[in-house]
Structures are given as structure tokens and as C-alpha cells.
Amino acid sequence: MEALGGLCQVAPAGDAPHDPTIDIIAIHGLGTESPRTWEFKKKGGGGVVNWLSDRDMLPEALPEARILTYDWNANYFADAPVQTLLGHADTLLGLIAENRGSQTQPIIFIASCFGGLILAEEGSPYRHILLSTVGILFLATPFHGSDAAKQARWHVVVAGIMGEQASDQLIQDLEQKHDFVRQRVQKFTEIANAEAVRLPMSCFFETRKTEMLRRLLSRGWAKKLSTGVTHKILVTESSACLHGFSRQGLDATHSYMNKFLGPECPNFKLIKDATRQFAGNASAVLTRRTNFCRVIPFPRNEDIVNRAHIFARLDTLLPSTSEYQSAALCGLGGSGKTQVALEYAYRRCRDDPAYSVFWVHADNETTFTQDYTAIARKLGLGKLDGEKLLMAVCERIASEPSWLLVLDNADDIPLFGVGQTPHTTSQGQTEERTSLYDYVPRGGTGTVLWTSRDERIVGTLVGPRRGIQVGQMEPAEAKELLETSRNEQVSSEEVVDAEKLLDELQWLPLAIAQAGAYLRRTLTPIRQYLSKLAEGKERWRVLKTTEFDRHRRRDVPNSVLETWSISIERIRLDNEMAYRILHTLAYVNNQDIPFDIMTAAGLYGGEEETGDSGERKDRVVDAVTRLKEFSFLGLRRGGGDTRSYEMHKLVQEATRYKLSVRSREDEVYFSSTALKIVAKLFPERKREAWAECERYIAHVVQVGEWAEICERKVEVSDLLRRVSDYLYDRGRWREREPVDERVYKLLREVLGEKHPDTIGSMANLATTYHTQGRYAEAEPIKIKALELRREVLGEKHQDTIWGMASLATTYHGQGRYAEAEPIYIKVLELRREVLGEKHPDTIRGIADLAATYHVQGRYADAEPMMITVLELRREVLGEKHPDTIGSMADLAATYHVQGRYADAEPMMITVLELRREVLGEKHPDTIGSMADLAATYHVQGRYADAEPMMITVLELRREVLGEKHPDTIGSMADLATTYHGQGRHAEAEPIYIKVLELLREVLGEKHPDTIGSMANLATTYHTQGRHAEAEPIKIKVLELWQEVLGEKHPDSLQAMHDLAITWNSRGRRDDAIALLDECLRLRRTTLGPGHPFTKRSAQTLNSWMTG
């Protein structure tokens, strides 16, 4: 045998005449050497069989082959040098290159166990060897880790036990999760799959288990170290096989994957056949590699998310055809255009092995020329430069039998002649300018695929129907990308957080991929990452992070906050007005942006204010169109006749970020511009302007977030107070709350705690809490505001009086009527003195006092006052004023509780119709009117009318007020009462229990609504015959009503009546008669003998007395 360094020729042997046409190179595994690796030792001293060198084995099957072995230092004992697999790979490839010289015959590799990992190396300095390789057989190579590494580590442990010095560096290279091995295998697979290589490979795996300890030690040592023998498949099928390549199992243990008994051995026959097949196909493989040219700068992305609708559209526009065709992928930077184009290119190569692909970075003239120069070298076009080189490449590409040219990042489309004006010569003649488009092939049987952020490419460089919009990902696609880039599935516990994250990232592929890579690298949980995004500067720090991506150019920014910098600069150069609009819109809400805002932003403080209105509008339209062409703006669909737009939230954020790091002056200027524009557009407080208010409210609220940046806290607070007034008029309390909180914070910082405006904002915030039923939060703020107003403004100032009335309202809402009443009386006296009898505030004072009388059951006092209020409001405010309608509702409620349903019902219907007309369907007062009318139907036994209305009321209150608002809880109670009235106790009872729990939590044990809820639950128990459960609750209810409302209040009298009924049912007839008799006496005095409740008590008592 001829030794060639680490290479040794084993066949043909000696000086036998031989003219080989193919080389076979075998590589042994860890802890062994040649020829021992390849030898089968026959039992009984019958010699050895070496299937690589014995004449009747592989040399006979492939007589045309030269067979060599490669020996590498795979010993991990004693003084063996510590080497990495990378070093062995370089040594092997270098020896092969030296041995072959100028020879070009094909190569087949046979790799045993860990020896296969030596081949998993790119070998770019030895690309000619790679392109000469026509097949590789892997024999139990642990690509994805194995117990063979553990076996090797056992060797090191045992060596230590026996006193031998051992190194485990090689084993560390082979551990299952070692990044070195994983990355090498991944890279090797990419190279093997590359269309310019298409390397045939077969992976063989063991199917019989190895006895681990007996494999390592003598029988005696095995018994000392273990009570049993471990049987394992050392290299499993999943580890030994590469995805997409041939796989075959051998009936052998790990040790016998590379040893065969003789020519008739079944395992040898499988290996022989695979090797012969590689040799037989060698010519076709090499020919295919030389018949096309591929210049693709990025490896295939094996983890690409299949954006099915985009690829389907590409396949439709660019099918396999013999004609020239072109199309363009357009969209926002970071939307995945390059990745789609890359995958399309590799798919075309897969479908046609002879397909040529050329990739050109078309960012600018420099990158275009550089890539054309590289293609020229690849095509062997000789030494050309300038226009001659560009034209030569263009013509050569067009001459290819079938080809694809990808022009990536063609964002500066004027370079390709779009928008260029003809050149005028000194003689006054016009001639067309030369552009890069002149060097883009447009004939033959090829395809040109453009990617661009500029939608103007559609209709100019490609046909008007040849564009494909690459936008945000579909939810399933975004989730898959997050999981892939994170390298971890979203668990069931993370689903909600993952959806929040994807929504926060606006379904943008770049942002998702960057987030996933960050999560993977830092092991950060999704929820923690969301927390980072919620924290100002921390958010920008995270979004500014750049994660390496081998499928993107390294010289192009790929952080979320930097990726649009180039496009924004392009906008600045192309259209100054568009640049101003973009930066102003960065400070408004990103959804439903009216064209009026963009017009104002475009014309604000610019030279464009010159010219007539038609010209100015045209310039604005051109600027907005330019932003839309760069996908910075999108036309909002379903917006009716009025045009509105939307802007990607992350684009807004990136724009603000660049201003913050570039120029404090510009940051103040554009945020102030946005403030002034929306302040001018937001209408004054009047009902006719509600539709206009709704158009701008989200933008006003968003601008309010930048008060500190634009240094205009007072102006921002004034504008937000106008928003607060609008939301008050609409009854949208939950939306109003953050606005009022923001106003109070800003005014306290700028004007101080005792300024009247600050105190007013504090009072407004308390009112907002009150209207949501949050009395415990409202009360202390109202007390503080009242004290400050008394100190600063005096006792008789209107604001002070208003503060007194507001505090009384909160006491009223808490059922503290004894505290509310004297304050209401004082307020009314002061208003009459200061404002006069017919002032709206004075009339409100009368209404508030009447309402307090009403809830205390003093209907005789309440009714005439309510009639007076209604008459005064009709006179002063008009029939359709919300306060006038409210007075009608109050009077109808008084009729209702007195059992005068015939008077109450038509008035309630009128109130509901007026509130629908004036306030809208979802205003809390409108919903309240529906509830009142349903209650009137209920007490009349008209359950079929009441029930659907109550269900609607409950749904609306949940939507508008929230689950725990007292009115929402009250609606639940009303619905349960209707079920109860229909005998549907099984449905009513759990609702009553839930209502009672919520009211105890929200209002407290002694609030009238809570006590009423207890009464309802007791009644339900009673009607089911569960008197023992009902009685103690009814006793508690009576005690609480008498304590809170007094002995003569209608609710206290109803509790007496209910308890008497239960006592009678439990056989306590005498106690029941005595209690009911007292109840009847008080009802006659309080409600009158004709009231339905009085009549009911009398009838019941009479039946007991005569029964």
C-alpha cells in the first residue's frame, strides 16, 4: 500500500496496473484506526476480512476505483494530541487536494461513525473537491448526538480508574447539544442541498442494540461496575440520518456497521449497491453541475415560513414558461420581501436542475455594478469594466437557456429610469439618459423578480398587474415565525402573551424574528419581554437590538428602529412635504388618520402654502401618495366616503426614535406641530359636532402623551379637558378616566396643587371614578377638592358649591342619605342666593334633593319637586336637553315606585326614545332607560316583554361600564328577578349569589343595593320551600333596612312583609300575623291604602285571619 500522509491507498494493491476513473475515500471513527476499523475478525483464528482492500469485496464491485483510507488521530488516551474536528477536516481536504493535483475524477466518501462529522465542513478553499464529490455514505454518523459520545466518555472515565492520563476535548466536540457540532451539521446540510452542488448521500443506521459495559470492559470489570448490562442503540435513526436524503437500516450493532463477513453478507451488499449507484451516476451529476450558473449570496432558509398566499401569487405571475416575464414584491421594509424572493429562487432551482439564478443587490449603482462584476467572473467573461461589463453580463444572462434574475432592494427606482427627464444637449436636442434599466435583461426565456419598498415600481418597471404586496403576516404565520426563531413552541400558558406580543410587533416579520432571536439567546420569557416593551427607554433598547441573520446582508441595518432609515432619507430627498407629514404623523394615533390631518401637516409652516388651494391640495396628494408608495401609509378600508389612512405603529416609533437621537429641536417641532393641528381640528363642545369629535379624539389623546416632549403641558391639558367634556357628554367613563388622570398630572406639575384649574381637574377625576361606581376612590378626592376650593375660592363660589353637590352625590350613591340630604339642602339655598331660581345649577339642586327624598321613600315630598324641575328645565333648557329628559325619567321612576304604572310606562317609553335620539344607543343614560322600562314591564308580570330587554341591558352595560360597575351588577339582579317571577328558580339562584358577592365586594355590606340583593336571594330560597335557609337572611335584611333607611321606608316595610310570609310558612302563625299587621299599618300611613303593596299586605293578612 502507498502511504500518502494521512491518506493510504488500499486498492488496487501494490503496483498492479490501474487507470482509476473514480476515487473512494474511507474515514474511520473515534477511538480506532485503519485498517482495524474495516476488518471483520473471523472466530477461531480464521483470519480477517477487509471489505475495502480484499479483491473479492469492494475492489471487485468497483474495479475502476482507487480506494483510499484516511487516518486521523482519534485516540483520547495517554499523550494523544488534543485536536478539534475542524482541524481534521482541513487536513483531510488539504491531503486530497495535494494527492489529486490536477486530476478531476469524481470522489465517493465512506464515513464511519464520528468520522462523518469530519466531512461536515464547508471547505470553501477546496470547493473543487466538493464539486468533484458524487456521493457520500454515512455509516452511523451521529449528526444529532448519540449515546456513542457517552460511550466515549466512559472510556475516559475507565482510563482514569486504571491510572491512565486521558483528555476529553474530542468528546466535548461531540456532546449532543454542543453548538460546534450542531452548527457544522447545519452548514454541511445547506451546502449539500445547494442547487449548484446537489450532493447525493445515503445514511445508514444500526438496528441492533449494543451491550454497553461489555463493549467497554472485560466481563470482570463490567460485573464490578454494574449489576446488569445496558443494551442501547448508540446512534439512532433520527440522529444518523439527514433530512431529505436516502436512509437505510443495517442488521448490525454499532461496532459492525463498518465490518462485513464476506461478499455474500447482506449488509455489505447494501453498501456495495449504494456505492455502485453513486459511481454509475457520477457523470450525470458532474454534467449537471457544469451546465448552469447560480449566484445566490444567501443559503436557503430551511425554516422559512410558508406564506402561502404570496407564493401562490408568485407562481401565478411567474410560472415555468419559455417566455420572458417579470414581477415585483413590494412592501414595507422588514416585511420579508427578500426572504420570499430567496425561497422562490431556491424553489425554481429545485424544480429545474439546469436553472441559472443570478442575485443582484440593487440598492444603488455601486452594489449593482459590484454584483454584475462578480457574475462576470463567474461566467468567465474576461477583463471588462464600465458599461461594457454591464452590457456583457446582461446579454450573457439573457442567452442562458432558462434563468432568474433577482434585483433585490431596488428602492431607488430613479436609478432605473423611473421619473427621469430627457437630457437636453447644447444644441437644444433631447436624448434619453442611460439608466441601470438598460442593463437588465428583458428577453429570452428568463424571469426578472424585483423587490422594492417603492410601489412606483408597479406600472413602471413591471406591469400594473405584476406587483405583489408583501404586508403583515397572517396570525398563524406570525406564530410559526416566533416559534421558529425562538426555537421553542408556544406553550398553552403562553398563548395569550404570544398573541399580545405579535400584536405589539404589528405582525411584522423582521420584528418577530428579532424578538424570537432575542428570546432564544437570552432565555427571556415572553411575558418578561412584553414588560420590557412596556417600559419607555427599555423598549427602545430592546427594539434597537440587532440579531445576526445569515439570510440578510450584514451591511444593512436590521434592527426594528433602524431598518427604515434609508427609506426615510429617500423620502426627504424626493419630497420635503412627504417628509414633514411622516414626522408629524409619528405623534398622532396610527389608525384612522383623516386626510385633514395630513393636509394640515403638509402645509404647516412650509413654502407649499403658496399657490391656490387646488395646487396646494395636489401637492399634498402627491406627498401622501409618495408615503403610501413606500408603504409608510395605507388607505383604510371601509371608511365610507371620507378618506382616512393608517400607519404602521413601529414605523411611527422608529421615526420618533430617530428624531430623539438626531435632533432635540426637530423632536419638539414635530410633536408641537401635531399638537397644534389636532387642537385646531378638534371641535368645540356641542352635540352637532360629536361626529367630528369622534374623528379626531384618538389623535388628541395620543398627542397628549407627548406633552413633556413638546414642552407644552398647559396647552395639552387644555386640549385634553375638551376631550374629557366630550366623553362626559357621551357617558364614556372608562375612556374618560385616563384623560382626566393625565390632565390632573400635567396641571399639578405646571400650576401647582392649589390652582383653580388643578382643583377642577381633581374634581373631574373624582366624578369619573364616581360615575363608574368607585365611590370609595371618589370620596376622599372630592373632600380634598372641596376643602381646597373653600380655601382658595371661598364658600359661595360656584365651583365650591358644585363641589359640595358632588360630594353629596357620592354619599347618595353609597346609600348614605342622612349625610347627603343636609348638604343638598345647603347647596340649593346657596344656589338660589348666588345664581337665582332658574339657573340650571339651581334646578339641578332641586332635582338632587328630590332624588334623595325619593330613595328614602318620601314620595309625597319628592313628586312635586320633580314636577317643578321638569317644568323649569323645559322652560330653560328645552324639551330635548339631556337634563330635561333626565327629569322626565326621575318623575317616571317616582310614579313606578308608587305603583302608578299607567302613568310611568308611557313616560319611560318617551324618555327612552328621546335618549336614543339625543345620546345614542350605548350611552349609560339610554341603557338606564331601557332598564327602567323593563322593570316596569316586570312588576306588571309582563315577563315576555321584560326578559329580552333586560338581557340587552346587561350585555350593553358589560360592554360600556364593565363587569363590576354597580349598574351592571344591578342588571344581573334584575334579570334574575325576572327568572324568579317566572318560576325559573334554578336559573335565578346562581345569579343572585353572584350578584351578592359582587355587591359586597364593590359597595359593601350595608349599601342598599347589597341589602336588596340579600332580600332577593332569601325570596328565592323561600319560593323553593327552603324556609330554614331563607329566614335568617330575611331577619338580617330587615335589621339592615331599618338601620340604613329607617323603619318606615318602603324597602323596610317590604322586608317586614317578606319575613312574615316565611314565619307563616314555618308554622309561626301568631308571630307572622303580628308582624304583617304592623307592616300593613305602616304601609297605609306611608304609601296609602290604594298602593298595590298595601293592598297585597291587607289581602294576605285577611286570608290568615279568616283561614
Q: Where are the chain's structural domains? A: 2-12+22-36+46-143+183-209+233-289, 292-419+437-469, 475-543, 1025-1107
Extract the C-alpha cell encoding 269: 451488499
The CATH classification number of 2-12+22-36+46-143+183-209+233-289 equals 3.40.50.1820
Q: List the Cα angle 197/200/202 in 5-degree steps.
A: 150
Q: CATH: 1.10.10.10, 1.10.3470.10, 3.40.50.300, 3.30.565.10. Which one for 292-419+437-469?
A: 3.40.50.300
Helix (H, G, I), strand (E, B) or coil at 480: helix
Q: Identify the pLDDT of residue 227.
A: 46
Q: What is the rounded CA–CA span in Å between residue 748 and residue 761?
A: 9
The set of long-range contacts for 1043-1048, using a CB threshold of 8 Å and a minimum separation of 24, is 1043/1006, 1044/815, 1044/1006, 1044/1008, 1044/1011, 1045/817, 1045/856, 1045/857, 1045/1008, 1046/856, 1047/1082, 1048/857, 1048/1082, 1048/1085, 1048/1086
Extract the C-alpha cell encoding 298: 444567501
Q: What is the 3-state secondary structure (H, E, C) of 92-117?
A: HHHHHHHHHCCCCCCEEEEEECCHHH
Q: Identify the pLDDT of residue 109.
A: 94
Q: Do the two domains 2-12+22-36+46-143+183-209+233-289 and 1025-1107 of this chain adopt the same fold?
A: no
Extract the C-alpha cell encoding 642: 371620507
pTM of the model: 0.61
The residue ranges of the chain whose pLDDT is under 70 are 1-5, 14-17, 74-88, 101-102, 114-127, 145-181, 194-196, 212-230, 290-291, 353, 421-433, 546-558, 605-612, 637-642, 1107
Query: Alpha helix (H) ranges present in 442-525?
Result: 475-486, 495-504, 509-522
Helix (H, G, I), strand (E, B) or coil at 555: coil
Q: Identify the pLDDT of residue 780.
A: 95
pLDDT of 199-226, one tens digit each? 899 999 999 998 765 544 455 545 544 4
Q: Identify the pLDDT of residue 424.
A: 53
Q: Identify the pLDDT of residue 439.
A: 93
Extract the C-alpha cell encoding 147: 449515546
pLDDT of 520-555, one tens digit each? 888 888 888 888 887 777 777 777 776 666 656 665
Which residue from 70, 120, 66 is spatially nearest to 94, judged by alpha carbons?
A: 70
Sequence-separated (6 or more) residues with CB below 8 Å from residue 278 = 108, 134, 135, 137, 200
Extract the C-alpha cell encoding 162: 486504571
The CATH classification number of 1025-1107 equals 1.25.40.10
Q: What is the rounded CA–CA span in Å between residue 1062 and residue 1018?
A: 10
